[in-house]
Amino acid sequence: MRSTLRGVDAFVVLAEPTRRRILQELRTSEHTVGELVDALAVSQPTMSKHLKVLKTAGFVSSQTRAQHRIYRIEPRPLADLDEWLAPYRELWTTHLDALALMGARILPGPGHQLEVP
């Protein structure tokens, strides 16, 4: 994955909790700005600011239907992040597996109690 998405650092975009909440809302269905404002209990100007950042970074797209702007999540940037995180996930899995093996060697087996001084 590139370190940026459309010239914007994806981690900076997603560091803002309101933006993560917007993506959570859009995960299951498209929403109008008004629906997002109601769901997240933020002002319309605040919502518009966050949607603009998400749109610039490619995390959401929009289309106009009648007098409403409908937003939807775009999976590609999230897939890019997932791809970038894969080696770290593998690293942690390896470390956790090693920790589990170490714990199995140290801790008593089933039916035995660990004596604590």
pLDDT of 54-100, one tens digit each?
999 999 999 998 999 999 999 998 888 888 888 887 777 776 766 67
Going from N- to C-terminal start, the domains of the chain cover 1-106
CA-closest candidate to residue 37, choices 52, 47, 27, 28: 47
Amino acid at 38: D
The verdict on pTM exceeding 0.85 is no
Q: Tell me which of 3.40.50.1380, 1.10.760.10, 3.40.720.10, 1.10.10.10 is the CATH number of domain 1-106.
A: 1.10.10.10
pLDDT digits (tens, 9 = 90+) for 4-43: 455 468 889 999 999 999 999 999 999 999 999 999 999 9
- Mention every residue, 6+ apart, whose C-beta is less than 8 A from residue 5: 13, 57, 58, 59, 77, 80
Tokens coding 28: 């299951």
DSSP state, residue 74 = -
